[in-house]
Structure formats: C-alpha cells, structure tokens
A and B are shown apart, each in its own frame.
Chain A
Amino acid sequence: MNHFVLPAADADGLRASACRLAAAAERVESSGHAVSLAAARSVPGWSGAAALAMAARAREVDLAARSKAVGLREVAAATVAYAGRAVATREQVASLNGRLTAARDTASDEQRRVDAMPPEQRVMFAGRDPMAALRVLEASLRREHAETIERLTRDGTVLARAIVATDPLRSLPEWLAGGLALGHGLVASRTLAVRGWSFGKWLSYARRAGLARDGSRAADPLLARAWQVRATESLDAFRHGAVRPGAPLGGLRTLLGRVFLPSSVILGAVDAVTGAGHQGGRGVATRVLGAAGAAGAVGVLTLSNPVGLTVAGGAVLAYGAWSLGNLAWDNRKAVGSFLHRATGAVGSVVGKLVFW
C-alpha cells in the first residue's frame, strides 16, 4: 500500500465560488429592489391602469429576485461548509500519511535490528514480528481513511442537494426536465446554425468583394462595393445577431444576440481554467476549445482583417459546437426519457385512431 490519496476537492476554488455566489445574491437582490423602487417612485406622479400594472410587474420581478437571492445564499453557505470539510479532510489524510510513514520507518528499523542480532538473541524476539504489527496498523489507518473520505462524500451529497433544492426546475420529473433540456439544445443549435450561416455568408461576400476589387480580369469597383456592403451586414449579424423588425420576442432575441459573443469570452475563459469539471480527454478538449472560443470571440469583436476574422470566427463556432455536444451528452438520459414518453404518447394516440 502506498500513501493515502489526498481528496480532489480544491478548497480555494470552492471558497472563491462561494464568495462570487454571495456577491451575485447581493446583486440580484439589489437589482430587483432597484426595479421595484423605480416603479414605486414613478407611480405617485403617474396614475392610471398602466402605472398600476407596471408597479405590479415590477413587484413580481423584485419578489422573484429576492427568492433567487435566498437560493444563491443557501448554495454559498453549503459550499463554504463543504470547503471547510475538504480542508479538514486534507489535514486528516496528511496526518494519516505521516503516521503511516513513521510506522513503516519504525518497523523497518526494528526488523533490521532483529535481523542483525545473533540467533541466540533473536530467540527473545520470536513472538514479535515488526512487519505483522505494521500490517495491523496499516489496516487500522485504512479504516480511518475510509471513514474520513466517507464524511467528505456525505457533505458533498449535502452540497449537491442544496444546489438541486435551489434549482428552479427541481420539482419537475426527469422526462419534463429532459423536454426542457431538449428545447434549450434546439434553441442553442438554431443560434449556432444562424451564426454559422452569417459567418459563411460573410466569408463568401468578402471573397467576392476581394475578387471584384483586385481580380485581374473583371475588376469592378461598383460590384466590389456592393459585395463589401453585404459582407459588412453579414459580419454585423455574426457579431450581434440579426432580428427582423416585428419578430416575436424581438427584445429578448436582440438582447440574447448581443450577449452571445461577450458570454463566449467569459464562459470560454472559465472553461479554459476549469475544464468545466470534466476529467481526462474531455476536460483537456474543453480547456483547449474554451481558450480558443474566448480568444476567438475577442478577435471577432475587435479584429478587422479577413484572415484574423476567419480564424477567430471558426474558433467561436467550434467552441459553440463543443458546448452544445456537452449539453446533449450530459442530458442524454433525461432527453431519452422525454423522447420515450413522447413517442409512447404519440403511439397510443395513433393506435387508438387506427383500431377505433
């Protein structure tokens, strides 16, 4: 038996995330309060049904924000408790390793002393086997180690439950959560496809503009300008999203379109550092693609030369596709449950229609 392995939990990372969760809780609460306060201040100078409806809606936002802040604080508290347990466990395991090393050294020394004795003296130690005593001690330390790790695992389960308890969708059955995950995946796929389409159009138009401007045979400044205008429009759609005027949920879609690249920078940087918690090859791929996606998103927002934009845009799309694949893989069981239930329901309806 080698030394006991220290637990994988990183207390510093856990404490940092608890601090950020507590700060986010403050932010959520103060923002909800700001919304409610702004509406309340306005209402005395602006009466009528619209003012009352606005005040009621603002109060709803405030109440939802307060409830979310409570949930975030609970997760932060559970995370701090788990980080404390992780530190204590590391210290206990280090202490066990120290005791193990000392016991091994003592047993080896004693064994060497016994081996060096003449046979007539060795008879006096016949009933004492240093290595057997060491094995007994090792078994006892192993039990102690298992109990220590068990306590940490129990606290990890408590943390997981605290996160699930504050999850807005905790009360949903697996198949319904799978349906929502499928919906989220389809929306993300569509976003990625639309961005990929805009990026492809930009590549095509930029190439045609270059040919019309610099082509030795058919240089045409007017045509070059027309292609350039289309290329600029496509690049703008890739950077900020394109929402038709009057489209349903236009405000939300415009907002989500604008946060696509900035959020790729933040999420890509986080994935580059943490690997999104995945181990092995998946963790390495997540780190590499996260770093590429973050750098690519910065490049798309800041660069203007075509080669740089091509590389940066490709990196952003590759990171988006990888994240989408991770989402699908992590939710495959719930989505499978949803599809199974949905096909069962459709089959039942079809069966009734056919055999009616």
Chain B
Amino acid sequence: MRIDVDPGLLDATARGLDSGAAGLVEAADQVTWALTVLAASCGHEEAAQAARRAAVRWRGGLDLAGEAARGLGEAVEAAHEAYLGVDGAQAAAISGHSR
C-alpha cells in the first residue's frame, strides 16, 4: 500500500496550530494585565474582587486552550516526521523493486 500525503501541508498545519496556541497563551497574559488594572482602577470593592478572581480563572482557561492547540500542533509535527520516514522507506522499496 502506498501512503500519499503532502508533507508541506502537514508542516504548514503544524506551524498554524503552534501559532494559534502561542496567540492564546499571549492573550492569557493580556487578559490578566487588563483585569488586574481594572481591579486597581474601579474604586468599587465588589467589582475589584470579581476582576481579581476572574483574572486567575481566565488565565487558567486560556492557558489550557493554548495547551490543547499546542498538543495538536505537536501531533501533526510527529505525523509529518513519521511520514517523511515512511516516504523514504517507500522510495527505497520502490527503487529496490524496480531493480
């Protein structure tokens, strides 16, 4: 059986997923900054407390989403590397057979 996959596509996918993951983790920092400044600026105890608590939870949620995307990127990258190995073996097998 011949496996036929576009290796460039796999590589581009891995990079796209990794970039999305990095964006989510960076956004987690932005949200933490914004909610901390909000807590310090609002002069309203209830809102400040809600903002401080939400900052911790938002950070955790976005970090996990980023990690999920990064995990997908790593899986695709592993698939890409595995394909390159299979492709090399296929090429060797085909050239050996034709000889």
Q: Are B61 and A7 in contact (CB under 8 A)?
A: no
Q: List 17 A-B pairs, Cβ < 8 Å.
A: A20-B33, A20-B37, A24-B34, A34-B19, A38-B15, A42-B76, A64-B65, A163-B54, A169-B57, A251-B67, A255-B70, A266-B32, A270-B33, A271-B36, A273-B37, A277-B40, A330-B52
Looking at chain B's contact residues, the main secondary structure is: helix
Contact A65 B17 (CB under 8 A): no
Interface size class of B (residues with CB under 8 A): 35 or more
Decide: A276 near B40, CB < 8 A? Known: A57-B68, A164-B50, A327-B56. yes
Residues on B with C-beta less than 8 A from A65 are 24, 65
Q: Residue A9 at the B interface, CB < 8 A?
A: yes
The prevalent SS among residues of A at the interface is helix
**How many residues on chain A are close to B (CB under 8 Å)?**
75
Q: Does A32 lie within 8 Å of B76, measured CB to CB?
A: no
User: Which chain B residue has the least Cβ–Cβ distance from A153?
Assistant: B44
3 A-B pairs closest in CB distance: A38-B16, A31-B23, A13-B41
**B-side interface residues toward A, CB under 8 Å?**
5-6, 9-10, 12-13, 15-17, 19-27, 29-44, 46-54, 56-58, 60-72, 74-76, 79
Residue A184 lies at the interface, judged by CB distance under 8 Å to chain B: yes
A window 301-345: CB within 8 A of B:
327, 330-331
A353 to chain B, nearest CB (A): 37
Q: Do B36 and A274 touch (CB < 8 A)?
A: yes
Report yes or no: B31 in contact with A156, Cβ–Cβ below 8 A: no
Task: Given A35-B72, A64-B65, A157-B47, check contact A72 B31 (CB 8 Å).
Answer: yes
Given contacts A42-B12, A274-B40, 4 further A-B contacts (CB under 8 A): A39-B17, A166-B54, A167-B50, A330-B49
